[in-house]
Amino acid sequence: MRAPVPALIYRPTRSASATVLALLLLIIGGLGTWLTGYRLLTGSWPQRTVTTLNAIGTVSFSSIAALIAAGIAAACGLLMLVAALWPGRPRHVAFLPDDIPGQTALHRSDLAILIKRHVEQLATIRSASATVRRSRVDVVVFSDADDLDAVREAASEKTDEALEVFNPEGITRSRVRARRVS
């Protein structure tokens, strides 16, 4: 009996929230290390630290400054929590499904290049650009032809044909726009 094949499609890490938390901990840890070293070398705390801690100790929880600081801290914490829980967009997309166990994956930008090359085979198109979104492909074709609607229709058919050939998972539709170049 064969072991199941692991999926190639991974969600990106929650690097934004982890980076903010790491920087915050690095700053607090560095400050604590500096204060401890200063205390060990001189035998007393720095005067600015003593006055700052005394000022913080005298602030009541009903003061405006304390409420603003608590609100900012709560908003930052909530944003970091949402960033950590929000699923990221996978960088790779499965395509070319078949009956063989396993998965074929392709980077989204590489899929966009394949679709772009497929559309650029039309004779009336000078160049094209493609972008793969969550569930659709956006294609912009550049042509010097007079009838841009016919160019757009032909490019739309080529894009749909490419989507049928590659059959990317989750990408079911396309949007094609035509622009005139001189």
The pLDDT tens digits for 95-147 are 877 777 777 888 888 999 999 999 999 988 899 999 998 889 999 999 998 88
Please report, in angstroms and rounded to a whole number, the separation of the first and last CA atoms in the chain: 62
User: What's the CA gap between 32 and 159, in Å, rounded?
Assistant: 59
> How far is the C-alpha of 147 from the C-alpha of 154, rounded, in Å?
11
Shared domain check, 26 and 79: yes
Domain count, the chain: 2
Which domain covers residue 77, as residue numbers?
15-85
Same domain, 79 and 101: no
Residues 96 and 166 in one domain: yes
Mark whether 103 and 125 lie in a shared domain. Answer: yes
Q: In the predicted model, is pLDDT for residue 18 greater than 80?
A: no
pLDDT score recorded for residue 141: 95
CATH code of residue 111: 3.30.70.1350
Q: Are residues 133 and 117 in the same domain?
A: yes
Q: Are residues 23 and 71 in the same domain?
A: yes
Whether this prediction's pTM lies above 0.75 is answered by: no
φ, ψ for residue 62, nearest 5 deg: -95, 0
Token reading at 39: 């205390």
Q: Which of 38, 54, 85 is the last residue of a domain?
A: 85
The tokens describing 139, both together, are 């294609």
Mean pLDDT over residues 85-92, rounded?
Answer: 74
Say whether both 150 and 109 belong to one domain. Answer: yes
Q: Return the exposure string of 36-52: e unless at least 16 CB atoms fall within 10 Å of the residue's CB, then b.
A: eeeeeeeeeeeeeeeee
Residue 170 lies in a domain: yes
Residues 30-68 have pLDDT tens digits of 998 998 899 899 999 899 988 988 888 887 878 888 889
Task: Answer yes or no: is 8 within a domain.
Answer: no
| Domain boundary residue, one of 85, 116, 146 | 85
Q: What is the dihedral of CA 148, 152, 155, 159, to 10 degrees?
A: 160
